Every structure is written in structure tokens, then in C-alpha cells.
């Protein structure tokens, strides 16, 4: 009795599905991890942009340059903590040259915020390294309010 062709080809392909599964699942897992990591980096960048805008707005509401620098720094640090952004280092640089412009003329202040986020917080726990996310925002000083 001759073996049936269908039976012979079935034996030859036995285990092919398991092999395909073993090759495809890790690749899909890696792709999914990369997508999640990219989304988390994008979210961190969005939060830093919002913090920079808030910091520059806080600086523009202050009466003196020293108050403006302190307000920008305080609000940036509190916003980072509130938003769940765990920066290993947070730098807030505020350009206060607008306070030197005479009252009645347009002036602005700007804040640049840089946050270094550990990759273990963004991608996979235990992942080494860090990513620095930075953003800058401007805010207009009131044209007719006394400055400093």
C-alpha cells in the first residue's frame, strides 16, 4: 500500500506553524515595544513643551527679574512632578532681557526647559541610558506695567 500524498506532505510540514510562531512573535513584540517607547518619548516631549510655556508665562507675570527667574524655576519643577515626568536632571534657563526694555515698548521673556529622562522610565524598566528632551517658549511682558 502506497502512502497517500496528503499524508506525506502533512508530515513534512509538521512543526512549521510552531517555527513561524517562534520567529514572528518576538519580532512583533519588539515592534510593539518600539512603538510604545516612541509614544512615551513623544509624551515626554509634549509635557516639556507645556512646562516651558507655563514657566515663561509665570516669568512674565513677575514684577522683577529675580522674581521671574524664581517663579519660572518653581513652576517648572512643580509641573514636572505633577505631570509624572521623572527627570534625573531638570534645567530651566530663563531669558529675562525683556525686563531691561523701557515701559511702553513691546518686550518678552523666554524659558528653555531641558529634562533628562532615564530610558528605564520611558521604554523598558532596567533599560540603560537617558534621553534629553528640551523645549523653549516665549511670553509677552505687559507693555504698560512697571518692570523691576
More confident residue, 134 or 9: 134
* Neighbour order of strands in the sheet with 89-95: 89-95, 107-118, 130-141
Q: What are the structural domain ranges in the chain?
A: 5-141
The pTM of this model reads 0.78
Q: Are 95 and 110 contacting, i.e. CB atoms less than 8 angstroms apart? A: yes
Q: How confident is the model at residue 58 (pLDDT cuts 50, 70, 90)?
A: very high
Give CA–CA dist 71/48, Å, rounded: 17
Q: Are 138 and 58 contacting, i.e. CB atoms less than 8 angstroms apart? A: no
Amino acid at each position: 500500500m502506497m502512502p497517500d500524498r496528503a499524508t506525506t506532505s502533512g508530515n513534512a510540514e509538521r512543526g512549521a506553524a510552531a517555527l513561524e510562531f517562534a520567529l514572528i512573535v518576538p519580532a512583533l513584540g519588539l515592534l510593539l515595544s518600539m512603538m510604545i517607547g516612541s509614544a512615551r518619548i513623544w509624551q515626554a516631549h509634549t509635557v516639556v513643551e507645556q512646562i516651558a510655556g507655563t514657566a515663561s508665562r509665570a516669568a512674565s507675570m513677575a514684577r522683577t527679574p529675580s522674581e521671574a527667574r524664581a517663579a519660572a524655576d518653581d513652576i517648572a519643577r512643580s509641573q514636572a512632578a505633577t505631570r509624572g515626568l521623572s527627570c534625573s536632571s531638570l534645567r530651566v534657563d530663563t531669558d529675562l532681557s525683556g525686563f531691561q526694555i523701557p515701559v511702553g515698548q513691546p518686550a518678552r521673556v523666554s524659558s528653555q526647559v531641558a529634562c533628562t529622562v532615564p530610558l528605564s522610565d520611558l521604554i523598558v524598566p532596567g533599560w540603560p541610558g537617558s534621553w534629553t528632551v528640551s523645549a523653549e517658549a516665549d511670553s509677552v511682558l505687559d507693555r504698560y506695567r512697571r518692570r523691576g
